[in-house]
Structure 1
């Protein structure tokens, strides 16, 4: 049966049942109910303060809204598709509770500025929670780094062995990435923290409302100065999705490394039973499901960012129904980022064990100390490019003979260049190779300790 809506007195006929379902957003925007109630409370108090409604009416509305909040929290208020959206659901229930006074709540307000307010209140809270999760993740990284300052791991470029680095230095690189994520979210928060309440449908209102008062009650730092912009702006949502995408990039990069490290080919880490699963057919398997899922879910968040950009690119001012599509993307991105941060925090805290003996073997079985041989010669006055070319020939010779640089005798070194002395062997040990890189921000142990102390101060 077709049904009549509160807004449809303009129409002679009722909305088709299929269109009712198609048009409704209550299935997902119920997520905003707590924020809708909070925004409505502020609006009601403002209406009473400015004399648009009486103080008694304001108190009555506030009491009714608080009852709806209690009913929802206790599972007694579960509006269905007939309510269309969370805003109508609240207003209808309010009118059921307090009578016609409830119909005065929407005075001087449109669903357009109402949903904009709700979404910003929601996103402000989510940003604060995600930033707290990032700090939890960083604390785990710092704890691991502190335990592994002198643990060495092969460093790679082009996924080829490059130079050994401190494992702590490697982990601190992810701290720096996530610190930018934390700061970036703080910057996004500034654009979320602007109140559109009172912008009306698009042009403001004839009522003597006090937008700054509602902004103050809701904790907004400022209000939109242009009503058209206030109801149609979704830049803040796009900025958040961009920040969320970068968080996922960083988690996905770490996930990829954990996946590689746990493979038999690398064998740098062991996955604990609390964060790995087995195969349904191959009993020997231990699968890195957590990092694989994080890597997979990254594309999901990217998709939401792309979807929002496409959604907004052709919209004329001001509000358009298209904007209903912003919420599911936003809600899902928030839930995905929060779930992935939680999972990766658990994984790094208790899900992997670094195999230090294997790591020590790995940094001793390659030519990642070749640059240090060139540096050794350069320090003795040999032009670096000349030294570089010489060492390239040395590596070629070693490869042909099945040797590593450490296997060459001193006579062989001197045959290559008379500047080589006994101290070449110390210079090319993995620990010395790492320790010597003491330039600011380098992997030298003193620099890693400095970086660790600096990171702790940010926490």
Structure 2
């Protein structure tokens, strides 16, 4: 099968090289972007009189037919034509004759693939944003239902201070908010149309790049043809943003894995989102969360593939850059798959409020509030800290909680203690008193929810 560059070569490409060089097995997913870009290019060629208007119209109609047939499953791409660009051009030429050969006028595969990738990434950023927004909505809904569900907050995986499940969920909602912003920043920064850069040095044809830009919905055209064909910064930015997103999902998954264990038993996963054991009938495994945690490393690998691939190549286009596609595709697919299964898993998860409360009653997580009680009575905080530390040591020795101590026992450590200490160290009091912006008090968490819901309404995508 003759290649499009056959005029320069006297031999057929070695079969192993042909397979090694081919990208159609994975870049076939760019068919819509490739055809959309080609239609805009053909329209511009006709408008500018670079090719006849009749041929331009014929090319566009032919491309529309190819797109319809691909989406109907009627077209099989050939390995002989290496990539999606050559496959589409070959099919077009077979269908409309010599007019199809004019499509590539004033264009190179270098700026063509640069265009296709930008169109594809723009589309996928919008799709991923929607998945994140859906997850944020689920987090907000859970937070609303658990404004007073007291649970232990942790540092060093040790019980630290009382919070609520709603407060906990809003921490993850804020992480997701930053993920959306990172993706939007990536989208804004990459919104440059590269077609017209040619192979590396633009073209001598009187093309209208701004017309193509408008047809394809870009904000700008690229400012330099060398950079236009060789820039893959946006691929790195995307996979970096997706890596951070996956890090957040992995942390969330780790929480769920711990919480659904018998050691915590704070949550119960729905049967539809759990698996069992082949030999242990009692097991109910959080495989969804474990897979999310594992797939995070996969997306990190995609990021490092791109960074490593790009770090040593000179301007302009080099075949190394073909490796961008599989890394970007894999990162996108992995993130979307994780979000699509994690959101319904979370939404159907049962919150075991009594178990959370029981855990919160242990571990002296109201010790800071007890110290604050003494401080408000006039004792310096460092003295209050020491006094409560001695109380905790006594409780540990006697297997008691701070609430179990009598007032007489309190007074052996300080006369500042009165009956109101029991109200001060009650867990609900501890939570409700933390009304500082960002705190776990129910009215404050309600404010946080409203902030996230406003963000969601302003950033929702259709």
Match of 2:373 among 373, 376, 397: 376
What SS does structure 2 have at the residue aligned with 1:416?
A: coil
Distance 2:196 2:450 in 1: 48
1:430-449 alignment runs, 5 A limit: 430-449=427-446
Confirm or deny that 1:295 pairs with 2:316.
Answer: no
Residue number in structure 2 paired with 1:400: 397
Distance 1:72 1:454 in 2: 44
What SS does structure 2 have at the residue aligned with 1:255?
A: helix
Match of 2:231 among 225, 233, 237: 233
Confirm or deny that 1:357 pairs with 2:322.
Answer: no
Using CA pairs under 8 Å that are at least 6 residues apart, name the structure with larger relative contact order, 1 or 2.
Answer: 2
1:329-368 alignment runs, 5 A limit: 329-350=327-348, 352-368=349-365
| Residues 14-50 of structure 1 deviation map (CA, whole Å, 9 limit, x = unaligned) | 1001110110000000010010000000000000011
Distance 1:121 1:99 in 2: 28
Contact kept in structure 1, 2:3 and 2:81, CA below 8 Å: no
What SS does structure 2 have at the residue aligned with 1:43?
A: helix
What SS does structure 1 have at the residue aligned with 2:110?
A: helix
Confirm or deny that 1:85 pairs with 2:83.
Answer: yes
Residue number in structure 2 paired with 1:36: 34
Contact kept in structure 2, 1:198 and 1:209, CA below 8 Å: yes
What SS does structure 1 have at the residue aligned with 2:412?
A: helix
The alpha-carbon deviation at position 402 of structure 1 amounts to 1.3
Name stretches of at least 5 consecutive residues in structure 2 with no aligned partner. 457-462
What SS does structure 1 have at the residue aligned with 2:182?
A: helix
The alpha-carbon deviation at position 419 of structure 1 amounts to 0.5
Distance 1:19 1:174 in 2: 48
> Which stretch shows the higher mean deviation, 69-78 or 310-319?
69-78
Confirm or deny that 1:66 pairs with 2:64.
Answer: yes
The alpha-carbon deviation at position 286 of structure 1 amounts to 0.3
Contact kept in structure 1, 2:48 and 2:208, CA below 8 Å: yes
Confirm or deny that 1:386 pairs with 2:372.
Answer: no
Confirm or deny that 1:131 pairs with 2:129.
Answer: yes
Confirm or deny that 1:423 pairs with 2:420.
Answer: yes
Residue number in structure 1 paired with 2:459: none
Distance 2:23 2:423 in 1: 69
> Which stretch shows the higher mean deviation, 143-152 or 393-402?
393-402
What SS does structure 2 have at the residue aligned with 1:95?
A: helix
Q: How many matched pairs?
A: 456
1:214-363 alignment runs, 5 A limit: 214-350=212-348, 352-363=349-360
Contact kept in structure 1, 2:375 and 2:384, CA below 8 Å: yes
The alpha-carbon deviation at position 366 of structure 1 amounts to 2.0
The alpha-carbon deviation at position 8 of structure 1 amounts to 2.3
1:175-194 alignment runs, 5 A limit: 175-194=173-192
Match of 2:406 among 409, 416, 422: 409
Contact kept in structure 2, 1:4 and 1:15, CA below 8 Å: no
Confirm or deny that 1:457 pairs with 2:454.
Answer: yes
Distance 1:251 1:54 in 2: 54
Distance 1:227 1:425 in 2: 73
| Residues 89-140 of structure 1 deviation map (CA, whole Å, 9 limit, x = unaligned) | 0000110011011000000000000000000100111000111111111111
Contact kept in structure 2, 1:194 and 1:220, CA below 8 Å: yes
Residue number in structure 2 paired with 1:112: 110
> Which stretch shows the higher mean deviation, 75-84 or 165-174?
75-84
**Structure 1 runs, 4 residues or longer, greater than 3 Å off:** none
Distance 2:27 2:21 in 1: 12
The alpha-carbon deviation at position 86 of structure 1 amounts to 0.3
Distance 1:396 1:227 in 2: 71
Contact kept in structure 2, 1:261 and 1:268, CA below 8 Å: yes
Contact kept in structure 2, 1:57 and 1:101, CA below 8 Å: yes
Match of 2:197 among 196, 199, 204: 199
For normalisation by structure 2, the TM-score amounts to 0.98
Contact kept in structure 2, 1:123 and 1:192, CA below 8 Å: no
Distance 1:152 1:218 in 2: 52
Contact kept in structure 1, 2:239 and 2:331, CA below 8 Å: yes
Contact kept in structure 2, 1:27 and 1:80, CA below 8 Å: no
For normalisation by structure 1, the TM-score amounts to 0.98
Residue number in structure 1 paired with 2:23: 25
The alpha-carbon deviation at position 60 of structure 1 amounts to 0.6
Contact kept in structure 2, 1:181 and 1:243, CA below 8 Å: yes
Match of 1:13 among 11, 14, 17: 11
